[in-house]
């Protein structure tokens, strides 16, 4: 059940942002939007406002925005997509995958803003503690502020670490403040078998990033990962690494496994999937947004559109190949799950 719920939420969020990109720019450009749909198949919920029908459909793994005049036969209607200049049509198509990339930035930023932090090295307050560690057994607690260790005054976390490291297997006194009271305890740091340093099982207090700091790190993390995806794709295409593709079935399995590890890892996975979706949709693969963008670029260079029937045929062939590829990948995913007799 957890797998189903997590998968529906993640896929729904990714599809919503993707289609929202198409929808918002189309509205801004004065293009009519006939329907904004999340999912495929029969409608289970509809809401109509103005010229647009908003619908939720039974199969949540997809969605679409149907624009007025998007089909060549509707090109004469008012607010037609086909009547717009190339740059407007380009923006409408491009903003779908770009919104997925933006979603990745937002999700990574959320992780830094609400979950991840940086050690407060200018403080001597204890953050996390090792369960059943020396410090916990001696009575120290998270939030205690250390004043001195082994008779040495400490004013920063690096000083705390340095003094503890210097006394492996030696009983030392720690003076600390809890609330408004000062306390003293004695502990014996254990010796780290690799470094030989003394350890008592405490970590520095962490502070969450500011909104702007989290946004900057989210942006940097997204575009570092984007470069990694691009390099990996080039290596697969050139045969330097073996292709390792996962389809919807495999992704759902991964989502289920990650959901069990906590919300933070699930948010990170959603950001990675969204980034992959946005990147792949920008590639000039027939039936994907990138292919439509390529045809618009050619139209802009030529000064006239390519024959709509020829373009539709290319998209049809690409869509057919894409569906066959997805079937093969889904079969491989099911084989990995070992569900066949």
Question: Are 190 and 168 in contact, with CB atoms under 8 Å apart?
Answer: yes
User: What is the DSSP code string of 218-241?
Assistant: HHHHHHHHHHHHHHHHHHHHTTSS
Helix axis angle, 211-237 relative to 263-282, nearest 10°? 50
CA-to-CA separations, 24 to 19, 32, 64, 194, 240, in angstroms, rounded: 9, 11, 13, 57, 40
Which tokens is 164 given?
């503890």
Question: Are 95 and 67 in contact, with CB atoms under 8 Å apart?
Answer: no
User: What is the DSSP code string of 173-187?
Assistant: EEEEEETTEEEEEEE
Q: Rounded to whole angstroms, how far apart are CA atoms 287 and 63?
A: 14
Q: Write the burial class of residue 122 (CB in 10 Å: 0-12 exposed, 13-18 middle, 19+ buried).
A: exposed
Is 220 one of the catalytic residues? no
Residue with tokens 């289920």: 256
Cα R_g (the chain), whole angstroms: 28
- The catalytically annotated residue of 19, 70, 205, 311 is 19
User: Residue 72 carries which DSSP code?
Assistant: G
Catalytic residues: 19
């Amino acid at each position: 059940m957890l797998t189903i719920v997590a998968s529906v939420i993640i896929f729904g969020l990714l599809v919503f942002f993707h289609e929202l990109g198409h929808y918002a720019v189309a509205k801004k450009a004065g293009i009519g939007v006939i329907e904004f749909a999340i999912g495929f198949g029969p409608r289970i919920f509809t809401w109509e406002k103005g010229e647009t029908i908003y619908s939720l459909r039974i199969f949540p793994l997809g969605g679409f925005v149907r624009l007025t005049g998007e089909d060549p036969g509707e090109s004469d209607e008012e607010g037609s997509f086909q009547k717009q200049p190339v740059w407007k049509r380009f923006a409408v198509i491009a903003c779908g995958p770009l919104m997925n990339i933006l979603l990745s930035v937002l999700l990574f930023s959320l992780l830094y803003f609400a979950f991840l932090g940086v050690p407060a090295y200018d403080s001597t307050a204890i953050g996390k503690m090792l369960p059943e560690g020396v410090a916990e057994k001696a009575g120290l607690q998270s939030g205690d502020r250390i004043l001195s260790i082994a008779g040495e005054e400490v004013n920063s976390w690096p000083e705390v670490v340095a003094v503890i490291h210097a006394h492996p297997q030696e009983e030392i006194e720690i003076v600390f403040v809890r609330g408004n009271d000062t306390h003293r305890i004695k502990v014996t740091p254990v010796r780290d078998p690799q470094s030989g340093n003394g350890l008592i099982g405490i970590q520095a207090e962490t502070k969450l990033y500011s909104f702007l700091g989290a946004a900057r790190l989210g942006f940097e993390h997204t575009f570092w990962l984007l470069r990694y995806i691009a390099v990996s794709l080039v290596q697969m295409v050139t045969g330097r690494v073996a292709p390792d593709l996962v389809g919807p079935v495999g992704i759902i399995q991964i989502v289920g496994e990650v959901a069990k590890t906590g919300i933070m890892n699930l948010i990170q996975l959603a950001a990675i999937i969204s980034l992959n979706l946005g990147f792949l949709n920008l590639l000039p693969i027939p039936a994907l947004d990138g292919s439509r963008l390529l045809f618009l670029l050619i139209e802009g260079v030529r000064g006239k559109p390519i024959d709509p029937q020829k373009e539709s045929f290319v998209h049809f062939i690409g869509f057919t190949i894409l569906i066959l590829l997805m079937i093969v990948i889904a079969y491989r995913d099911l084989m990995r799950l070992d569900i066949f007799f």
